[in-house]
């Protein structure tokens, strides 16, 4: 049985493109009020204008703790509640660890792990006081298997998986669900930063990647389960995949 999201308030990080933007469109159609957060204010403003409805645009760098605190507080001040926290913002850096930029790896961990924890830590008191809510993390298939070509990224997603699993058990009695979506390769801007043009074209022909909209559909399914049902993990893979 599907549970209505009409009127619920959702914060989406990394909302300017990819899975975040696709999920914003899906939730807007369900009648959600949205707080859209990302570094690119122009992209957020364009998305909010296209969505219509009640959207709050929040320019934020999720590697900065003060920006996260401000994002949560401004959302709560504007809407008076927070029902859904989609911790979606992330960065993908593959390659040989020894040849990579250690500072870039550190920044990835701040965004992929620390920001997720800070978002959850900031909304739990709000959700507890209002009787419940949903924290949903965009993880990765890399959080379930060890991918040799992306050691630090895989480590970040393994950390997120463990965090989500243990946090879920701590806050369940407060009416807060903690869920994780783990997609395989997604044809979105984060992936394309590291792929040559011929690979992009091959993906379009072969269908070996998911679309951002596939992930948004999965998120919508997770959020619309009845309150007593938690989709702890949803692993989403394209049909043609070697993982």
Q: How confident is the model at residue 221, as a pLDDT?
A: 98
CB atoms within 10 A of CB 187: 19
* Spatial contact of 182 and 143, defined as CB atoms under 8 Å apart: yes
- Residue-range domain boundaries for the chain: 9-185+212-234
Q: How confident is the model at residue 240, as a pLDDT?
A: 78
Residues in the chain predicted with pLDDT less than 70, given as ranges, are 1, 189-207, 242-243
Count of helices and strands (H, E) across the chain: 9, 7
Tokens of 189: 């801007």
Q: How confident is the model at residue 56, as a pLDDT?
A: 97
Q: How confident is the model at residue 203, as a pLDDT?
A: 52
Q: How confident is the model at residue 187, as a pLDDT?
A: 87
Tell me, yes or no, if 105 is annotated catalytic.
no
Residue range 9-185+212-234 forms a domain whose CATH class is: alpha beta
Global pTM?
0.91
Spatial strand order in the sheet of 9-13: 55-59, 33-38, 9-13, 84-87, 133-138, 176-183, 233-236
Q: How confident is the model at residue 27, as a pLDDT?
A: 98
CB atoms within 10 A of CB 14: 25
Query: Of 79, 92, 153, 163, which is the active-site residue?
Result: 153
């Amino acid at each position: 049985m599907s549970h209505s999201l009409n009127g619920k308030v959702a914060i989406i990080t990394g909302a300017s493109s990819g899975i975040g933007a696709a999920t914003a469109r899906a939730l807007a159609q369900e009648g959600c009020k949205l707080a859209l957060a990302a570094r690119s204010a122009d992209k957020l403003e364009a998305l909010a204008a296209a969505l219509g409805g009640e959207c709050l645009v929040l320019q934020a760098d999720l590697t900065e703790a003060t920006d996260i605190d401000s994002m949560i507080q401004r959302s709560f001040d504007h809407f008076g509640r927070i029902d859904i926290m989609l911790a979606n913002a992330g960065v993908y850096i593959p390659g040989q660890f020894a040849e990579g930029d250690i500072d870039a790896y550190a920044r990835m961990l701040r965004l992929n792990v620390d920001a997720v924890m800070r978002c959850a830590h900031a909304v739990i008191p709000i959700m507890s006081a209002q009787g419940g809510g949903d924290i949903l993390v965009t993880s990765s298939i890399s959080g379930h298997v060890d991918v040799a070509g992306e050691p630090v990224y895989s480590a970040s997603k393994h950390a997120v998986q463990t965090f989500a699993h243990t946090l879920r058990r701590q806050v369940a009695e407060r009416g807060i669900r903690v869920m994780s979506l783990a997609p395989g390769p997604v044809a979105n801007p984060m992936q394309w930063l590291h792929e040559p043009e011929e690979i992009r074209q091959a993906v379009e022909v072969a269908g070996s990647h998911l679309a951002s909209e596939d992930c948004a559909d999965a998120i919508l399914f997770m959020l619309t389960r009845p309150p007593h049902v938690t989709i702890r993990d949803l692993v989403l893979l394209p049909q043609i995949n070697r993982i």
